[in-house]
Structure 1
Amino acid sequence: MRSMARFFGKELDRKELLKRIGHMSQLAYIQPFEYTEGKAQGIKALNVANGTGLEFTLLESKCLDMISMKYKGMNLNFLPKSGIVSPALADMNGTEFMRSISGGMLYTCGLRNVGTTAVDGGLNQVFHGNLKNTPAEKVNAFAAWQGDDYVLKVSGEMNESAIFNENLLLKRTISTKAGAKSVLIEDRVENQGFEEQELMLLYHVNVGFPILDENSRLLIPKSKTVARDPLSQTGIAEFAQLTAPVDGYTEQVFSHETASNSEGMTGAAVINDQLGIGVYIKYNANMLPNLVEWKSMRSGDYALGIMPATCNVKGRTFERESGTLRRINSFETLDFSLEIGVLDGKDDIESFEQFIRQLEGE
């Protein structure tokens, strides 16, 4: 029997909930708005709240990426000290991207490049690609009852194309339900061109304070782990060890091939046992075979990235030389999905730990 949504200690179906409120926006809503000052001026965005403490902000002007996520008023993500920067002010040349890197709970890397910059095929491939600064088109916000579920959904399209080169389209839908503790990102990539293309895609999920702290732990199912560089190699044995902020810490990056179930599902989580709360991701490893970990224990840049990807983060030329570039045929479509959610309390945490143990046992 299907369970009902839980609202503040009560399991309520549609009729019982509507007895207790006037307009649904009393609890759950999608509110479009626009930033009006500073480096974020002109960015269009949507704030989504689902009625039981989960609230997140999507940047319409930047790939519908999730710049913030809160639960019961608690921040869950990392936001760089550069803040929210309009695409009009973002300089992607060389290392200038560091002055406008998006951060937040999710920013999307790709579709032509992830990681190191390069000149490839006569085109500049910027750090982490162009999607993160691509405005969404055909944006639609949907908030309505579907049976006993009050569904909140935002969708839009981002195009990455160049004359004589690629013509790729990303169709994105981000959804949650009233009473839920998770968000689902569903992406469809279409090659609308007449030639096969090389595809790179990484979901940059960034967990921050207070979920991330010296009392936190990283939970990843058994994996094959590879360090990005010699410095990261020195810390590979402690990849799951999280510390308090360290002045001058240099980032370390690891790539994990995680255990998954028979359907390819896998996941990871950052858990703060002292607070009794965590952030998790679930995704299909058949489509996103690499889980990249970005470990930045640096004071002021204190973050942990858990990032499902089709690739590593050394750039498209490295991936091609390694024979690991994903390809998409002319007029082919590829579907990707990612769930980001909250583990609230002992029962949620133990349930996710059981999920990880089951993955490791298969």
Structure 2
Amino acid sequence: MQIFGNTLNRKDLMRRVGSLDQVAGVRLVELSDGAGRGVRMLEFRSGGGLEFEVIVDRAFDLGAARIDGRPLNFTAPLGVQAPWYGEARWLESWLRSFGGGLMATGGLDHTMFPTEDDASHLNYPAKPTETYPLHGRLTNIPAKLTGYGTRWDGDQPILWAEGEVRQACLFGENLSLTRRIEVVVGSNTMSLHDRVTNHAHTANPQLSLYHVNLGFPLIEEGARVIVDYEKAEPRGTFDPDGWQVFGPPQAGFSEEVMEIYPKSIDGWAEASVVNAQEDLLFHERFRSDTLPYLLLWRMFGEGTYVVGLEPSSVDTTPREALREQGRLPMLGAGESRDYHMEFTAHSGRDAVASFLQKTEAD
């Protein structure tokens, strides 16, 4: 393994430290003040410069993330908020509890804007329709922490954590998300594996969106997104010219979305964001069989300066239209669906240049 520039096997490493925690590890902490009071989080340190938080009580989503001490994510004014303090209305359930962080998960049965839709699949006459808040309900549900720690694969230690989130309602959906996160010690990559299961006895809509939120200093004027795509279609006011290069913070800016159909190689799609100096880079890979779309969300407002790089199971078509077109994804009774992602970060001109050269060669 590579630990801070040293190539070591297990025996050599453990001769030099009293505990692996000296160089890498994962620990459980709890916030004790403000809107985040009571929230459990897991803190990961890879030993390769990558550090990040897993917010256990917010659907096992990802909080602050850094590479070599440099922030990767956007942080909203509220920061981490306990879900039990939030509001439960259509827009506010997301906007008034969204603290930023590297990733917030949309789902499990709805993504995109708030709406009301047919609920006849629930077979409950008293509720012919269901209301769906912005990006669904998942991110406001605490997870059950099923385990975390370090496992050794021969000479290689691997940090891991696993949690389960249940989104269920009497006479409603009964879905679960099991999420496992792993980091090879000494690396700058995290892997995320999600399994969504329908525990109900009837089929249910199942949609997932991975709202990856990148901020300064990665996002700045001249930073750019790198993605190999089949086509890209602007939604709303998005200027289709030069959309891959980012601008500075601007007064009165309105959010923009580009709907991207990324190319898939061996079942994987990928995208990167690199800063203007090309000494800081974030890269994501995702399985395109279950996440065939990539939504580029740009918000260049003052104080809300953030870019979303969002793999999604559906495009931006409204839910009702998806149903009418026969494209609303369903999950059968007792069935499961898997989602796989990888996040990698690089800091320093040499590391970024090496990654970009390899990407171009591939």
Whether TM-score is above 0.5 comes out as: yes
Deviation at 1:298, TM superposition (A): 1.0
Matches of 1:169 and 1:295, distance apart in 2: 30
Contact in 1 for aligned 2:67/2:346 (Cα 8 Å)? no
1:240 maps onto 2:259 in alignment: no
Contact in 1 for aligned 2:222/2:245 (Cα 8 Å)? no
Matches of 2:345 and 2:204, distance apart in 1: 36
From 254, 260, 280, the equivalent of 2:264 is 260
- Counterpart for residue 114 of structure 1: 111
Contact in 2 for aligned 1:114/1:315 (Cα 8 Å)? no
Matches of 2:271 and 2:106, distance apart in 1: 19
Matches of 2:31 and 2:9, distance apart in 1: 36
1:54 maps onto 2:50 in alignment: yes
Q: 1:346 to 1:223 in 2, by over 3 A?
A: farther
Matches of 1:237 and 1:95, distance apart in 2: 31
Deviation at 1:20, TM superposition (A): 1.7
Deviation at 1:82, TM superposition (A): 2.1
Deviations 1:226-270 (A, max 9, x none): 2222x12xx122321201211221110111001111x22110011
Aligned to 1:119, the other structure's residue is in SS state strand
Q: 1:197 to 1:145 in 2, by over 3 A?
A: same
- Counterpart for residue 229 of structure 2: 222
Matches of 2:358 and 2:133, distance apart in 1: 37
Q: CA RMSD in A?
A: 1.8
1:340 maps onto 2:343 in alignment: yes
From 310, 313, 323, the equivalent of 2:313 is 310
Contact in 1 for aligned 2:91/2:133 (Cα 8 Å)? no
1:184 maps onto 2:181 in alignment: no
- Counterpart for residue 164 of structure 2: 157
Deviation at 1:322, TM superposition (A): 4.0
From 70, 77, 80, the equivalent of 1:74 is 70
Matches within 5 A, 1:1-362: 5-96=1-92, 97-120=94-117, 121=119, 122-229=129-236, 231-232=237-238, 235-261=239-265, 263-274=266-277, 276-313=279-316, 315-346=318-349, 348-350=351-353, 352-353=355-356, 357=360
Contact in 1 for aligned 2:73/2:213 (Cα 8 Å)? yes
Aligned length: 351
Q: Give the residue type in structure 1 aligned to 2:344.
A: G
Contact in 1 for aligned 2:59/2:142 (Cα 8 Å)? yes
**Tell me, which stretches of 5 or more residues in structure 1 are unaligned?**
none
Q: 1:72 to 1:6 in 2, by over 3 A?
A: same
Deviation at 1:50, TM superposition (A): 1.5
Contact in 2 for aligned 1:66/1:106 (Cα 8 Å)? yes
Aligned to 1:19, the other structure's residue is in SS state helix
Deviations 1:76-97 (A, max 9, x none): 1001112211111211313323
Give percent identity, aligned residues only: 29
Q: 1:78 to 1:195 in 2, by over 3 A?
A: same
Contact in 2 for aligned 1:245/1:302 (Cα 8 Å)? yes
TM-score, L = length of structure 2: 0.92
Matches of 1:273 and 1:140, distance apart in 2: 40
Aligned to 2:352, the other structure's residue is in SS state helix
Contact in 2 for aligned 1:228/1:255 (Cα 8 Å)? yes
Deviations 1:253-311 (A, max 9, x none): 111001111x2211001102515120110011111000011111111000110010101
Contact in 2 for aligned 1:145/1:151 (Cα 8 Å)? yes
Deviation at 1:221, TM superposition (A): 0.7
Segment of structure 1 superposing worse, 236-245 or 289-298: 236-245
Deviation at 1:315, TM superposition (A): 4.5
Deviations 1:35-56 (A, max 9, x none): 1111111111111112222111
Q: 1:81 to 1:284 in 2, by over 3 A?
A: same
Matches of 1:30 and 1:114, distance apart in 2: 31
Deviation at 1:223, TM superposition (A): 3.1
Contact in 2 for aligned 1:92/1:127 (Cα 8 Å)? no
Q: Give the residue type in structure 2 aligned to 1:242.
A: F
Q: Give the residue type in structure 2 aligned to 1:181.
A: N
